[in-house]
Structure 1
Amino acid sequence: MKFRFALLVAALALALSISAFSYSEEPAQDTAAPAQEETTTDDSAPFVLLRVYEGQFADVKDGDWFAPSVVSAYEYGLLNGRGEDSFAPSGNVTIAELLTIAARLRAIYTTGSDAVIPAAKENEAWYAPYVSYLKSQNLLDNSFEGFYLLPASRAQMAGIFAFAVPEEWYTEPNASLVTSAYSSRDYIADVTDKTPYRSEILLMYRRGLLSGMDAKGSFYPDRSVSRAEIAALLTRVVEPETRLTLTWTVAPYHSVKNATLASLVKAPTSTSLPTSAKDTAAIDGLVRNMLARGEHTITLNYSKALTTATASALTQAFTSCVKTYCEQMYNAVSCRSYSTGKVVLTFSSTACTAKTLESYRAKALAAAIKVHDSLWESGTLSYDMSQYEIARTYFQWLCDHCRYDNAAADDSASHLAYGALVSGLAVCDGYTGAYNLLLKLEGIECTSLFNDSHIWTLATLDGTQYHIDVTWGDQYGRTDLRYFGMSEEQSYQCHPWGTADKKK
């Protein structure tokens, strides 16, 4: 699309008197843009230079990394100073300010001017017209209601700006590299499936609008965004020639040879004493904390001794919880309750002694690492595959390399991931434990769900949760993919579970 703009200077000067950066209900009075003729080098570009920077910001020095971007954003009329001689490059930016800039970008790109956005009415928040405009363009919902004046995070910045200007304005020079680098988990590693605006963040890397804050492209999604960072981003938005070409070096595959079972569990930020056996959140936090530390005991300290019934209920609750981490191979819990209120829970396996279990755990992990690395080395797995495709590959591999142990007793190693990965024999908890171990080595979020007689996997693949039953998928020499990627409804038809069984 070609654009030709002849913006009226007077109208623009009026628009620029509205600050894009304010922390109060009323916008700060920044220095208005000087009346001048337009300066542009490309009459087909949607954004044009409107004024000349004359060194008025005392806190923007030659040599500052952000100096060229501040000058550019100022000359395009997209950012003003805070006062007559200050830019405040390290200052925070509110959500309202980001939305204001995004609305102006959209309006200028699509109509040639931001004059289509009216001034705020009396008793109306200064940013309200910009919010309304973005909503009219289907670029904003109500998720920021009540939070407009809070400092914006870098993740929110990406969410707001990713589609402010139509995608036709961009190319994606880094698309292939970002896909492989992100999949390797060596780059942009702090952006996960749970990161708000994950897709928008990665899109901005692909477009060359972002490169991260260190050599590994770390994004720091929760960190507040600064005015200097916004200036840099705006320059790359309006000037395609300033966009970044990433030069990351991605290894052919990401080896997990240094992984530990403890490293596969995300420790909670804090733990609390369970108020009862129904306090599943506290119980899960304690179990994760134990596993992430590589330990196998949990000590609780209550104000008084527990009754036998309460201690028994707690023991059962902790047993049910640890089974959802079946790749760790603990499936039994013993409890010692003292008159002082102290409770010691010891986690073990019904298949073997504690010493043997540690050996089994080490051997199962080593086998899983070997499977992972060999599939990557052979090209069976590659960075251009989705999580769904990777999970299906492991599903097929396990069905091909393990068989159901019809003779397994309650004390058999076939109940452990060790059985599936080392001996090639397993029952459902062995299959599921091995499968979850392989998925977690890939960084795929998963857990398990069980009823009285069976256990299977719940995995989040590319943002969608699926039920996966690798045990039933192994049909004696053939793989039944009907049991891969089931919806909750499909899974329930195969193996119902009670609400108490369902992993929250």
Structure 2
Amino acid sequence: MKTRLLPLSLALTTLLVLPAGAFSDVPAGAWYADAAQICVDRGLLKGTGEDTFSPDNAVTLAEVMTVAVRLHYQAHGGTGDPPAAPDNWGTGTLTTPTGAVLLAFNTCDLDRGLTYRYDQETPRRLHLYLTVSPEERAALTPAGGPAQAVLTLNGVTVLTGGLAPAEGSANRMEFMADPGSDYTAFNRELSAFLPAPAAGLWYRDALWYAREHGMVDSQPMEASFEEPAARQDLAEWLCSALPQSALTPINTVDSLPDSIDPEVLALYRAGILTGVDNTGAFAPARTLSRAELAAVLARVADPSLRVVLPTGGVS
């Protein structure tokens, strides 16, 4: 299912690497303490403050995505944190043919009022509009018609065309693509440009990695990344991250009381997920705590912790 990404909040979360035993809010005898230690040791989870793990906090979609990215990266030979997103992700420029910057913008620069449209008639032609200051408009108003311009998204040249003041507006500039343009590069880069969050957002790198490795398109997310994640979200992200070799069945599970989702069943069969009651119900819409997330991730990291379900049923 194709993902729809909504605007992302700019709130920052501190993520610190500490031994689980150093967290003041993880008692030594807590049911999740060993799992938290495994996750910290494997680089899958980090703290929420200088010495806190926040085991009772609801897990957000951003956290689920981030741990899935770490799992994917490690499964493909990576060590440490995944690579950082390029600085030019989510940026755009209009330049002269010789490279002089005329206008710069990004996906979080709402003051620019970035919009675009295509001509309804043939040939198809892109029109991109940006709000500018009076000084910029005066400097960019060419004599004798539209000035030649090059449109770049994410550091990639995507179109050439002309730049001129937009008709009917005192503070808008219009970029018009050349007739007969090839929109392949524009469409490709636009799909990456639009969801790019602000530089400095703590999960920016994870989102870039997930998009680059095809992990996002299968996630049917309809909420902000900072909303609580459901158990269904966790199942989908885990299956997008794990190779088939990590899902070797140890249980026989053909259906659940409240789910026949193949990804959920695969995780039950592998002993990674278990039910919330004695019927084996999955409770796909239920949120989960960081302690619960640690327990699930520890089973991924250490197969000896995986749960063998009762013969003839699930639990």
Percent identity, aligned pairs only, is: 34
Distance 2:231 2:267 in 1: 12
User: Is the CA contact (8 Å cut-off) linking 1:120 and 1:126 kept in structure 2?
Assistant: no
- Please identify which structure carries the higher helix content: 1
Question: 1:75-224 maps to which residues of 2 (within 5 A)?
Answer: 75-114=41-80, 116-119=82-85, 121=87, 123-124=198-199, 125-141=201-217, 143-144=220-221, 147-174=224-251, 176=252, 178-179=253-254, 182=255, 188-191=256-259, 198-224=261-287
C-alpha deviation, 1:250, in angstroms: 4.6
C-alpha deviation, 1:146, in angstroms: 5.4
User: Is the CA contact (8 Å cut-off) linking 1:134 and 1:140 kept in structure 2?
Assistant: yes
C-alpha deviation, 1:107, in angstroms: 1.0
Relative distance call for 1:79 and 1:246 in structure 2 (3 A) is same
Relative distance call for 1:216 and 1:204 in structure 2 (3 A) is same
User: Of 282, 291, 294, which aligns to 1:228?
Assistant: 291
Distance 2:241 2:269 in 1: 16
User: Is the CA contact (8 Å cut-off) linking 1:120 and 1:128 kept in structure 2?
Assistant: no
Distance 1:91 1:104 in 2: 20
User: Is the CA contact (8 Å cut-off) linking 2:247 and 2:267 kept in structure 1?
Assistant: no
Whether 1:59 and 2:25 are equivalent positions in the alignment is yes
Secondary structure of 1:224 counterpart: coil
The match for 1:3 is none
Relative distance call for 1:120 and 1:74 in structure 2 (3 A) is farther
The match for 1:36 is none
C-alpha deviation, 1:120, in angstroms: 6.9
User: Is the CA contact (8 Å cut-off) linking 2:43 and 2:80 kept in structure 1?
Assistant: no
Whether 1:28 and 2:28 are equivalent positions in the alignment is no
Q: If the length of structure 2 is used for normalisation, what is the TM-score?
A: 0.56
Per-residue CA distance 1:274-314 (angstroms, 9 max, x = gap): xxxxxxxxxxxxxxxxxxxxxxxxxxxxxxxxxxxxxxxxx
Per-residue CA distance 1:86-129 (angstroms, 9 max, x = gap): 21111111111111111111112203225552157493343233
Distance 1:96 1:155 in 2: 14
User: Is the CA contact (8 Å cut-off) linking 1:157 and 1:225 kept in structure 2?
Assistant: no
Secondary structure of 1:169 counterpart: helix
Q: CA RMSD in A?
A: 2.6
User: Is the CA contact (8 Å cut-off) linking 2:26 and 2:53 kept in structure 1?
Assistant: yes
Bigger relative contact order, structure 1 or 2, given CA contacts below 8 A and separation 6+? 2
Letter matched to residue 257 of structure 2: A
Secondary structure of 1:235 counterpart: helix
Q: Report the count of equivalent residues.
A: 196
Secondary structure of 1:247 counterpart: coil
Give ranges in structure 1 of 5+ residues lacking alignment: 1-22, 34-51, 183-187, 193-197, 252-504
Per-residue CA distance 1:461-497 (angstroms, 9 max, x = gap): xxxxxxxxxxxxxxxxxxxxxxxxxxxxxxxxxxxxx
User: Is the CA contact (8 Å cut-off) linking 2:32 and 2:295 kept in structure 1?
Assistant: yes
Letter matched to residue 232 of structure 2: A
Secondary structure of 2:75 counterpart: helix
Q: If the length of structure 1 is used for normalisation, what is the TM-score?
A: 0.36
- Please identify which structure carries the higher strand content: 2
